[in-house]
């Protein structure tokens, strides 16, 4: 890795547009520094350099690192979009030639119309934004390469005059939100279903660092079920820079519930035991809150009364980012972040296997606490917590495995 940006070595440039964090006031540097830290960690194993300047994120890289940079930018929370750009000198002829190259490439990809979107950040440049657009549009319009359409063009060619001039055509939209790490840490109850990975992702978009816990019941749940959850943790870690997955064996806990609790309360009692273990883990890892994938009314354990019972056992704030979403909205996000296909693999988790035929729908806090106490189960929850296994996942590992050793992207 080189310590300075050598334009002979770092020949490719990417530009990222900052999102919500630009609205911050005197503490904006905290958000900018975290964003820069996140992208640098993601690209630690490849030939790339990142910097922030005047509301833009720049990533300069060697040609063999293009794939890694694009993967990292696709998963970077805190920018609204990114583009691979041509960085040219600030003179109108260089800009015109860059526009020509973008237009010809767009035509090869099927574009027929275009418009120019010019912005002059450097006010010392002799032409204003309108003049830049007028001077450069002619290289494509006059020779018939593309026709002008300022309302619904097939392609918009952007020109930004800054310390250099950046010309680019297509901009890929990304996750938006706040940089992961600016809003504390949360502990996510991660199951093998569709909902919980989406819940973790939504909290990451609000700037929260997310750690995960999964409750496993071997041999009633298979090793494939655990591997499924490990894959989900790895996928969401790409958005959160990295994460730890804590796997807690709950077989003995669930057998005690089956023996001691009324059948209708078994799912609810399991949720309370999970909350007890989550309290311990949240305290151990200094998490500020506990996150679940619950959605109001989606299943029997998620009535407002049952949610109140679960929350009564939480010793940290309990966040439910999906509480007002329906299944279709959740599935759309799961498809976007890449967890859906893994979540629907046919390996049941512990909640499904021990679900009663007729679960209690409107439990009370007092009755539930009494049933929980009667099970005398705290020692089993503590034992399961003490014997947990921990797995670590990071976007750096994925980037390193896929691109670090390659000579060409």
Give me the mean pLDDT over the 92-112 stretch.
95
Map out the domains of the chain with their CATH numbers: 12-173 (3.30.2130.30), 185-399 (3.40.50.620)
> In this predicted model, what pLDDT tens digit does every residue of 283-341 receive, in sequence order?
999 999 999 999 998 887 889 999 999 999 999 999 999 999 999 999 999 999 999 99
Give me the mean pLDDT over the 157-167 stretch.
95
Residue 17 has pLDDT above 80, yes or no: yes
Per-residue pLDDT, 5:
60
Helix 195-205 vs helix 223-237: crossing angle, to nearest 10 = 20
CA dist., res. 247 & res. 235, Å (int): 17
| Higher pLDDT pick, 384 / 352 | 384
Q: Which residues contact 315 (CB under 8 A, 6 or more apart)?
A: 279, 282, 283
Residue 346 has pLDDT above 60, yes or no: yes
CA distances from 328 to 178, 189, 228, 335 (A): 25, 21, 22, 11
CA dist., res. 106 & res. 145, Å (int): 10
> In this predicted model, what pLDDT tens digit does every residue of 371-389 receive, in sequence order?
999 999 999 999 999 999 9
Percent of all residues in the chain with a pLDDT value above 90, rounded to a whole number: 79
> In this predicted model, what pLDDT tens digit does every residue of 242-294 receive, in sequence order?
999 999 999 999 999 999 999 999 999 999 999 999 999 999 999 999 999 99
Mean pLDDT for the chain? 92
pLDDT band at 170 (very low <50, low <70, confident <90, very high): confident
| Higher pLDDT pick, 4 / 75 | 75
Does the model's pTM come out above 0.75? yes
| Higher pLDDT pick, 346 / 34 | 34
Residues 257 and 276 sit within 8 Å (Cβ to Cβ): no
């Amino acid at each position: 890795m080189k310590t300075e940006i050598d334009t002979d070595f770092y020949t490719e440039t990417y530009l990222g547009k900052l999102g919500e964090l630009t609205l911050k006031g005197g503490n904006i540097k905290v958000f900018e520094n975290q964003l820069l830290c996140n992208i640098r960690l993601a690209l630690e194993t490849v030939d790339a350099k990142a910097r922030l300047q005047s509301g833009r994120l720049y990533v300069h890289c060697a040609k063999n690192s293009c794939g890694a940079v694009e993967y990292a930018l696709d998963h970077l929370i805190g920018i609204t979009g990114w583009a691979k750009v041509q960085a040219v000198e600030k003179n109108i002829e260089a800009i015109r030639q860059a526009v020509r190259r973008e237009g010809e490439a767009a035509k090869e990809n099927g574009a027929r119309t275009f418009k120019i979107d010019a912005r002059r950040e450097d006010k010392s440049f002799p032409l204003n934004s309108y003049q830049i657009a007028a001077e450069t549009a002619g290289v494509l319009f006059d020779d018939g390469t593309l026709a002008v359409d300022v309302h619904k063009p097939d392609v918009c060619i952007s020109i930004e005059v800054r310390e250099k001039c950046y010309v680019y055509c297509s901009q890929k939209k990304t996750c938006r939100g706040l940089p992961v790490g600016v809003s504390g840490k949360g502990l996510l109850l991660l199951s093998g279903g569709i909902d919980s990975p989406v819940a973790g992702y939504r909290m990451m978009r609000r700037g929260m660092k997310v750690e995960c816990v999964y409750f496993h019941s071997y041999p009633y749940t298979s090793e494939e079920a655990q591997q499924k959850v490990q894959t989900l943790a790895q996928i969401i870690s790409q958005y959160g820079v990295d994460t730890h997955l804590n796997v807690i064996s709950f077989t003995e806990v669930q057998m005690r519930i089956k023996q001691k609790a009324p059948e209708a309360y078994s799912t609810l009692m399991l949720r309370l035991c999970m909350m007890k273990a989550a309290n311990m883990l949240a305290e151990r890892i200094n998490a500020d809150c506990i996150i679940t994938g619950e959605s109001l009314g989606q299943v029997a354990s998620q009535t407002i009364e049952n949610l109140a019972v679960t929350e009564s056992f939480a010793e940290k704030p309990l966040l439910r980012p999906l509480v007002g979403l329906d299944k279709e909205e959740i599935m759309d996000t799961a498809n976007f972040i890449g967890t859906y296909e893994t979540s629907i693999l046919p390996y049941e988790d512990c909640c499904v296997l021990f679900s009663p035929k007729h679960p209690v729908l409107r439990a009370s806090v007092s009755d539930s606490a009494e049933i929980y106490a009667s099970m005398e189960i705290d020692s089993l929850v503590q034992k399961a917590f003490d014997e947990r296994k921990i797995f670590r996942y990071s976007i750096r590992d994925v980037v390193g495995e896929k691109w670090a050793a390659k000579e060409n992207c």
